[in-house]
Structure formats: C-alpha cells, structure tokens
A and B are shown apart, each in its own frame.
Chain A
C-alpha cells in the first residue's frame, strides 16, 4: 500500500502535466459536455427546418437566418437593446450614490451595508418580481394609496408596460452595478481628493476630474454585468411586461415552450449569444470579473 502510494507520488512529481490533467479532468468533462457541446447543438438546430405543429425536420436550411433579417425582428432586438441600455443608466443613477455613500460614509458599517445590497440577490428573484406585480397592479399599494389620498380617481396603469419592465430590470440587476462601483470607490486614494481640494478644486470639480475618471473601471464592470443579463431577460418582460412588451429572451422562450419553432428559436439565441460575446470577450480579456460579488466574498 505504502509503496504504491510512494510510487504514485514519485510519478506525479515527475509528471506535472499528468497531475494537472487529473485535477482538471472532471470539470473539463462537465464544461465540454454540458456547456460547449450544447452550444454546438444550438448551432446545428439553427440550420434545421421547422415542420408542422412545432416538429423539427432534420434538413439543413438557411431559412431561419433569412427570417431574422426581417425588419420586425430587427425592431425586437433594438427594443431589447434600448430597454437594457435604459436599465444600465438607471442602475448607474441609483447605484453610484449608494456605493459612494457606503464607501465614503459607511464607517465601520461598510461590510454590513454592502451585505444588505447583495442579500436579496440570493433569494428567489421570481418571488421578488411577483412582489413587484402586486405593488404595481391596479389594486396595488401605489394605486390604492394614491386613490386613498385623492390624488387620482382611476388607477394609473403601472403594470404590463415598458415602465414596469424597466423597474423590474433595474431592481433585479442593481446589485451587479453597485458592487463593482463600491469596489472601485473603496480603492480610490482619498489623498488625491485632498490634493485636488488643496489646489482649489470645488467639490463638483473634484468629482468630475478625480472621482469619476478613477472609478471608470467600476462603471464599465457594472454596466457590462447589468447589460448582458438584462438584454436576454425572460422573466421580467414575461411577468411585468404582460402581452405588450416583447424582448428577445421572451421571444426565444416562446419559440421553445409555447408556439414551438425550435430552429428559429435556436437561430435567435445564437444571435443573442454572439451579441453578448461581443461585449463579454473584450471585457473578460481585459481582466473583468464574471460576477459582481467576487470581490465582496
């Protein structure tokens, strides 16, 4: 037994690459089998023909990609892009003051406050979106509250429109923006601000010329980490957008679950994947973190 163990150790000491191979093998298998291979299968399906009643005919065609060029679908992508972009701006508008406040004035409560920002992110977002449905509905807390104090007589439509979708997206992805912003504000050398102040810069100038440029990394990280999941979002437009608001993620899901057209759905999700990679590849190559909470752990 011992000699076998010693021989094994001796062998592994001489063969570093075998050691790496053995350690990486299980996960590599998993990544290849359940991430890479499935993406290739999506690619394959995107070239198949869709038959009657949602059947898939295994005949190769370019029809799905021809259909995508349709201006109607271009509008669908454009709308998803715009909704995601508005979400990024709103997350920045809400996340920056929050991160700034925690980083500069949080004192010894900083870790706790950061924790409070990320905490809801670990709970069911389906349930939290449901809570927004009840808040925004015609009988919801906002409408009935406003009616109670007599500001409005009829409920204003807050649910099932683009407003609700943007609220839901901003709510869902706010932590992804706030955490990288906080990390970059926390790293900011305060003496630089003192130096700027000594040189006569007003607070607004200090912010514009020192703080903002030096937290650019956090702004970029946050924007990518919000934009990417937001543009492909399914549940938010599904629950809060109702029948009126369509986004790519919801469209793809419908092609797979409801009115089945798997080949067209595959072509769309491949296109979505390419769009997302256009943002992600340069971001990750530049050393960007794949998840906002990494530095907080």
Chain B
C-alpha cells in the first residue's frame, strides 16, 4: 500500500485543523491586543486581563461556578461509579431500556433538557438558584461519568478479582482492595471530564439559574449581549485554557495502562 498521503488530502486535513483552531487563535490574539477589531496589531497589552481580575461581578460568578461544579463532579462521579459497576457486573431485565433512559440527557438537544428541568423546579415550587443548577448539572453529568467508568471497567482483568476471592477475600474486600484501585484512573478521568462539562454548560444553566445565581458562562453571555467588549476575549481565553488543562490531565490518566 502507498504509505504517502496524496498532497490534496494532506492539505484538506491541515485546512480542517486550521478551521478547528482558528477561533481559539483569534481569541488569544485579541486578548493580548490593544486594538479591539480588525487585522491590525495595536500592540501588546495585559490590560484586559487586569480588568478581569478587578471585576467584582466576574469574581462572584467564578465563585458560583465553582460552587456548582465541585459538588456536581463529586456526586456524579460517585453515582457513576456505583452505576457502572452494576451495569457491567449484572444482567437484569430491561437493562437496555435502563441504559437508554440514562443516555437521554446526553443525546437530547440541551434546550429540551433545560426547559424540562425548569418546569420541574417550577412544578415542585423549588426556588431557582445554586441548588437547582447543581441538580440539573448532576442529571447530565451522571450519564457521562457512567459511560467513562463503564469503559474502564470493560478493560479490567476479571481474573484478578477471582484470584482475590480464591485467596479468601470476601466481596467487600475484593471491591475495596482490587476493583476500586484498578478503576481509579477511570474514576479520576470521569471526574476531570465531568468538570468542564458542568463548568462550561450554558444552555441548561440558562434555564434553571434564576436571577440571583449567574455562573461564569451566564456572565459571559450577558457581556456578549451587552456589546462586544475586548474583556470577553481575555476572560474567554482563561475559561478555555484552564479546563482544557484539566481535560489533558484526565485523558492522560485514562490512557495509562493497567
């Protein structure tokens, strides 16, 4: 077989990569640029970043975002672990249907999930705020953590567990001393992937946030709506880069062989 790529194919692939990364490049370039528009380079500045660190509203939104994402990640990782364990180990009637229901929040358009959550909270007369955001976030991150941990589970060598049992360990000890340590990279990866999922969510949060609690994406959205301020570029750069570092860490953990 021909080992060299036809030049047209290589060029096409490079162009698509440019398409994927152009917006991020533009974002970073503008965030360090004194010129607000155009192709011109007005000069290097950190002014936009300085303004972000002085902005009280942004600080408050960051606080809200973390207050939402951290509990979301903890709860959904725990639930995902238990769930993946049950789904992998046991056969039961209606398993496929169960999985289908579980995956609904992953595959439905966000708008549908968002309004259904909003109507739920209105229906049970729960005041909108941080708590409702957390509930909504857990319901769309649990399928994700389950999926990731289930993937890891399928790669575990079951004979290791059998060996533990043969050596006299009971089920609880086996799970604690053998299964969970083997699953650990998958659990960490699930947590690290769930974090940006929750942290970056805009659409679903938009519906269930109410007036008081604005997460960082909600704040960015209103900044965009109010008029394009160059501060958004700097804030956007930070929002994009920090969770990406977490994801890189997550993927590296997941890829580590058993």
- Considering only residues 122-139 of chain B, those with a C-beta below 8 Å from chain A are 123, 135-136, 138-139
Contact with A along B196-207 (1 / 0, CB 8 A): 110010110011
Q: Which of B85, B139, B220 contacts A127 (CB 8 A)?
A: B220
Contact A127 B236 (CB under 8 A): yes
* A228 at interface, CB cutoff 8 A: yes
- Of B40, B98, B111, B136, most buried by chain A (CB within 10 Å of CB) is B111
Number of residues of chain A lying within 8 A (CB) of chain B = 94
Residue of A nearest to B186 (CB): A297
Residues of chain A lying within 8 A (CB to CB) of residue B100: 281, 284
Total A-B residue contacts, Cβ distance less than 8 Å:
264
If the complex has contacts A124-B239, A130-B224, are A37 and B138 also in contact, measured as CB distance less than 8 A? no
Residues of chain B lying within 8 A (CB to CB) of residue A116: 17, 20
Contact B120 A290 (CB under 8 A): no
Interface of A is mostly: helix
Residues of chain B lying within 8 A (CB to CB) of residue A16: 90
Contact B136 A297 (CB under 8 A): no
Contact A94 B103 (CB under 8 A): no
Contact B23 A128 (CB under 8 A): yes
Interface size class on chain B is 35 or more
Contact A34 B135 (CB under 8 A): yes
Residue of A nearest to B4 (CB): A105
Q: How far is the CA of A118 from the CA of B37 in the complex (A)?
A: 29
Q: Which of A102, A128, A141, A256 contacts B207 (CB 8 A)?
A: A256
* A184 at interface, CB cutoff 8 A: no
Q: How far is the CA of A13 from the CA of B170 in the complex (A)?
A: 11
Contacts from A to B (Cβ < 8 Å): 5-6, 9, 12-13, 16-17, 19-20, 23-24, 26-28, 30-31, 34-39, 41-42, 45, 94-95, 97-98, 100-102, 104-105, 111, 115-117, 119-120, 122-128, 130-135, 137, 139-141, 144-145, 148, 171, 174, 190, 193-194, 197, 228-229, 231-235, 239, 249, 252-253, 256-257, 262, 265-266, 269, 272-273, 276, 280-281, 284-285, 290-291, 294, 297
Contacts from B to A (Cβ < 8 Å): 1, 3-5, 9-10, 12-13, 16-17, 19-24, 26-27, 30, 37-40, 79-80, 82-83, 85-86, 90, 92, 96, 98, 100-113, 115-120, 123, 135-136, 138-139, 142-144, 146-148, 151, 170-172, 189, 193, 196-197, 200, 202-203, 206-207, 217, 220-221, 224, 228, 232-233, 236, 239-241, 243-244, 247-248, 251, 254-255
